[in-house]
Amino acid sequence: MSPRKSVIETAATRTRIIECALASASAEGLEGVTIGRLAGELAMSKAGVIGHFGTKEVLQLAVLDTAVDRFVRRVPARVVGARPGAERLARAFGEWFDYMADDHRGCFLTSVATEFDDRPGPVRDAVIAALSRWSAYVLDELGTAVDSGELPRDTDPDQLAFELNGVALATAQAVQLHHDPLAATRARRALARLLPP
């Protein structure tokens, strides 16, 4: 086997493991991902699974990175062409609501944030970093909306960001816990009150 083919096959196997772990974590939580279960589902040895990551924590971080990348490609990346400010932000939140409702599992990052909110360590740090990037995005768009006159000058961006994220958290719960088919619709109504067109 050529070295190049070996590298490609190793990367493909790593991706398969991450995809399987992400599916499992989406249903049972990131902590519920076990090397033994992954090995069984992928018809691999435990050593073969863990050998790609070294530790379960490194695997968890890889799964989290993949989930964050999917969120970025589904939410902010889809609204790049929208007018900066309130329009772009409203569309981004709308994409997020639809993303949660599409797979009927809510938001992976929100779930992991709840799962690891009181567990210090690299996974929690990575969750905080991802959510901080989202918060910075929201605050930047709110600042643009205020500067352009789309929102009143006395708008408190931190408060409005808090309320917008509150709607997203309520949406995640409505989708995951209550299986509410109208969750995204209700969320869009709340969004329209907070960010009027």
**pLDDT, tens digit (0-9, with 9 covering 90-100), for 180-189:** 999 999 999 9
- The CATH classification number of 3-59 equals 1.10.10.60
Q: Maximum CA pair distance of the chain?
A: 66
Q: What is the DSSP secondary structure assignment for residue 54, as one 8-state letter?
A: S
- Confidence class for position 196, pLDDT limits 50, 70, 90: confident
Residue 64 has pLDDT above 60, yes or no: yes
- Confidence class for position 152, pLDDT limits 50, 70, 90: very high
Which pLDDT does position 1 carry in this prediction? 52
- Confidence class for position 197, pLDDT limits 50, 70, 90: confident
Asked if residues 116 and 124 have their Cβ atoms less than 8 Å apart, the reply is yes
In the chain, domain spans: 3-59, 75-194
Residue 89 has pLDDT above 70, yes or no: yes
Protein fold of 75-194 = Tetracycline Repressor; domain 2 (1.10.357)
User: Under DSSP, is residue 34 helix (H, G, I), strand (E, B) or coil?
Assistant: coil
Rounded mean pLDDT, 147-153: 96
- Confidence class for position 5, pLDDT limits 50, 70, 90: low
Distances (CA, A) of 124 to 10, 32, 58: 28, 15, 13
Rounded mean pLDDT, 119-128: 96
Average pLDDT, the chain: 94
- Confidence class for position 7, pLDDT limits 50, 70, 90: confident
